[in-house]
A and B are shown apart, each in its own frame.
Chain A
Amino acid sequence: MYRYDAYDQTLVDERVNQFRDQMDRYLAGKLGEEEFRPVRLQNGLYIQRHAPMLRIAIPYGMLSSAQLRALAAITRRYDRGYGHFTTRQNLQLNWPALEDVPEILADLAKVQMHAIQTSGNCIRNTTSDQFAGIAKDEVVDPRPWCELIRQWSTLHPEFAYLPRKFKIAVTGATDDRAAIHVHDIGLRLWLDDAGELRVRVLAGGGMGRTPMIGEVVREDLPWQHLLTYLEAIVRVYNQFGRRDNKFKARIKILVKALGVEEFTRRVEAEWAHLKDGPQTLNEDAVDEAKTHFPDPARRPVAESAIVAYETLRQENRAFARFVTNNVMDHKVPGYKAVTLSLKRREAAPGDITADQMDAVAELAERYGFGELRVTHEQNLVLSDVPVDEIETLWQKLDALGMANPTVGTLNDIICCPGGDFCSLANAVSIPIAQAIQERFEDLDYLYDLGPIDLNISGCMNACGHHHVGNIGILGVDKKGEEYYQISLGGNADDDVSLGKILGPSFYREDVPGVIDKVLQVYVEKRLDDERFLDTYRRVGHQAFKERVYA
């Protein structure tokens, strides 16, 4: 993964010093609340319901074991001994003290981490495919490109006060695991007939109050121009995006208002001036970025070991369940990617304790070359595990409560922190997740249901990405009471779709029962191995609506 050189380190160290000075001025009453706000947000610091919240950047989800240990130490020293992985591959601390934040940032800088631009109206942490570099369907490894984007966007002097937040996602695989259609900019790396890398550039996707699917601005951008083209898009947005109404300030509203043709025309006109400028990439620059993401020194795995693994899978039902759901095929025979589930009933989805962090760091060193990935489904991945070590790893994960064989099932719920922690939320979300997990914990039933994305957001800001859940749940507030609106048919993959609201919202205690009715309709109507999403698309909304409101 990317390692800092002296320049990167200097920059994050200077950022810590800058924020220390800003915090001092704030605490001394020399920097007002409103003026401190964007400054702290762009250092990841929110003022939340119970306490400040600090969002730590994990660039495109890549994390080293040493970094995870440092995070464990930070949560013990400054927080309550746990952290929360988010849908944007970051880590949140729920209970830091305001005045400790400069020290936390200093501790992070020691392990090449920071909280820069994890919030605020600026370019946020770039997200990507958690299986980057190892997926069988990968065409181009997105990580060197993500790193180039990370550097370009970090402390960008022109784009720190955009109309609204700005999120970029990158995929280089056939299957989009980065949800590029619902980001402000989505990038798909692909190869043309001559084997040259091209970039499909989408703009104007997003969730939140007005969910929209991104439009194609450029189908075949040559890779040399990636950074200048991004600069042109963000510059057009900075100039013309609405600033009078924060609910209409995202780039999706601008793209919609201008129409994609006019938006593209403006971008191209701007880009004509930036094209071939100093940020134009060359092979040396890209090759340098690639050197940070070498294949690990994988040992050969004997054919007999692969056979033994398959045999164990036949013979041991519990192991088979784990493999089917939590183990992903790898581009190298004999290797697999293993997902560590952070979904269990006793804790909020995405939560991890400091002890678990330490234990996972050790597992990463023993079984995964000291590296981890954070997924937007709020789990962790060990990307390079030889098949002859998966059984042992599985047993160790089971002991840690991280082997729930439910990845990709209804129980692998994506969920924001909700009203228990977040001051923006209308309603709680974690207790809803827990109630659903409790109701549907029978593994055979979960497997029979097959892959279902269930996403929960506690408010319109859609941090739980409910719009793209096959089943989406949104907390709403009606006259001070918490209700839940349910939508069906959302999907974040390539055949992207936004969920359609089922009808009037429900009381909290009724939500699991409603989900049950929705699933009954699916089970009755499905054909053969049809997925929930496909059945929904085939039979339509009405059948589900009638049953639920009968």
Chain B
Amino acid sequence: MPESDTSLEAREVVTTRAPLIKLGQHVEDTWVLSRDTETLPESRPAIVPLALWQAHSADAELAPWLPSDTELTPALVATLEQAALVAIDFPAFTDGRGYTLARLLRERFGYAGEIRAIGDVLIDQLYYMSRCGFDALALREDQDIEAALRALTAFSVSYQPAVDLHEPLFARRLREHRTG
């Protein structure tokens, strides 16, 4: 890709949306992300900080993003159910709290809506994210979408159960031995 195209694309991304993978497909993102904790963005639909969303949770065109240190409680999750999606922030890709948050939302609280990874979302973490229950991955703008889609299918086998798989490998082996 010529350099001018890259910079054009980069500018466009800043003013609009991050590359989005949803349910394993590259899709057009309709949501904008705002990190402004004080005021709502003009554009809709918009993902806004949790506290701001809580003040406007009746607005169906708004959805919350959770900081990585959020402590999930039944009361909080009950309010999150109203939103069209829940985003979890990765302030740095090395902050692993979001993986636990996503699993708790899915497995503990039975949340079935979209869980979107936002922030420092990079190719090499996507596989684990998807195992933990993220079904929407808003990549950092510089990430290559082809490599990202490839990374999602890096492994065909897992030892542990997670959101994507309920049977640990030791149980699967026993089952297969039994049935021959």
Contact = CB atoms under 8 A, between A and B. Distances in A.
Of A31, A158, A285, which is in contact with the most chain B CB atoms at under 10 Å from its CB?
Answer: A158
B154 A156 contact: no
Interface stretch (A71-79, A235-243, A441-449): A235-243
Of B94, B100, B103, B170, which is in contact with the most chain A CB atoms at under 10 Å from its CB?
Answer: B170
Interface in B155-169: 155-162, 166-169
A279 B160 contact: yes
Interface string B42-60: 0000000000000000000
Interface string A51-93: 0000000000000000000000000000000000000000000
Contacts of B99: 157-161, 238
A279 B161 contact: yes
B93 A14 contact: no
Given A278-B171, A285-B171, A155 B95 contact: no
Contacts of A154: 159
Given A279-B168, A285-B170, A121 B94 contact: yes
A219 interface: no
Contacts of A14: 154-157
Nearest to B172: A7
B12 interface: no
A235 B100 contact: yes
Contacts of B111: none
B162 A157 contact: yes
B173 A5 contact: yes
A155 B168 contact: no
Interface string B86-120: 00000001111101100100001000000000000
A239 B97 contact: yes
A30 B148 CA distance: 12
Contact of A11 (B95, B151, B155, B168): B155
A433 B104 CA distance: 49
Interface residues of B, number: 41
Nearest to B72: A239
A273 B162 contact: no
Nearest to A162: B96
A10 to B, nearest CB: 5
B154 A11 contact: no
Contacts of A437: none
A152 B171 CA distance: 12
B124 to A, nearest CB: 5
B1 interface: no
Interface string A22-65: 10010000110001001100000000000000000000000000
A7 B151 CA distance: 19
A152 B96 contact: no
Of B103, B125, B150, which is in contact with the most chain A CB atoms at under 10 Å from its CB?
Answer: B125
B174 to A, nearest CB: 5
Contacts of B161: 277-279
Contact of A155 (B132, B144, B159, B177): B159
Given A25-B147, A239-B100, A288-B174, A278 B167 contact: yes
B127 interface: yes
Nearest to B69: A239
B15 to A, nearest CB: 24
Contacts of B150: 21
Interface string A277-289: 1110100110011
Given A30-B144, A161-B99, A238-B100, A288 B127 contact: no
A392 interface: no
Contact of A38 (B94, B108, B158): B94
A17 interface: yes
A278 B168 contact: yes
Contacts of A156: 159-160
A311 interface: no
Contacts of B132: 157-158
Given A148-B170, A288-B173, A161 B157 contact: no
B131 interface: yes
Contacts of A121: 94, 96
A395 interface: no
A39 B124 contact: yes
Given A22-B124, A35-B124, A243-B95, A284 B174 contact: yes
A324 interface: no
A18 B168 CA distance: 22
A151 interface: yes
A222 B174 CA distance: 21
Nearest to A287: B174
A152 B159 contact: yes
Nearest to B147: A25
Interface in A217-260: 227, 235, 238-239, 243
20 contacts: A5-B173, A11-B157, A14-B154, A14-B157, A25-B147, A30-B144, A31-B124, A155-B158, A157-B129, A157-B132, A158-B100, A159-B99, A161-B93, A161-B95, A238-B96, A238-B99, A239-B97, A243-B97, A277-B161, A288-B173
Interface of A: 5, 7, 10-11, 14-15, 17-18, 21-22, 25, 30-31, 35, 38-39, 121, 148, 151-152, 154-163, 227, 235, 238-239, 243, 273, 277-279, 281, 284-285, 288-289
Given A38-B94, A161-B99, A288-B174, 16 more contacts: A7-B157, A18-B154, A22-B124, A35-B124, A152-B160, A152-B168, A156-B159, A157-B160, A161-B95, A162-B96, A163-B96, A238-B97, A273-B108, A278-B167, A278-B168, A284-B174
Interface of B: 71, 93-97, 99-100, 103, 108, 122-125, 127-129, 131-132, 144, 147, 150-151, 154-162, 166-171, 173-174, 177
The 10 closest A-B pairs by CB, nearest first: A161-B96, A157-B131, A157-B128, A151-B159, A18-B154, A158-B99, A285-B170, A278-B161, A14-B155, A7-B157
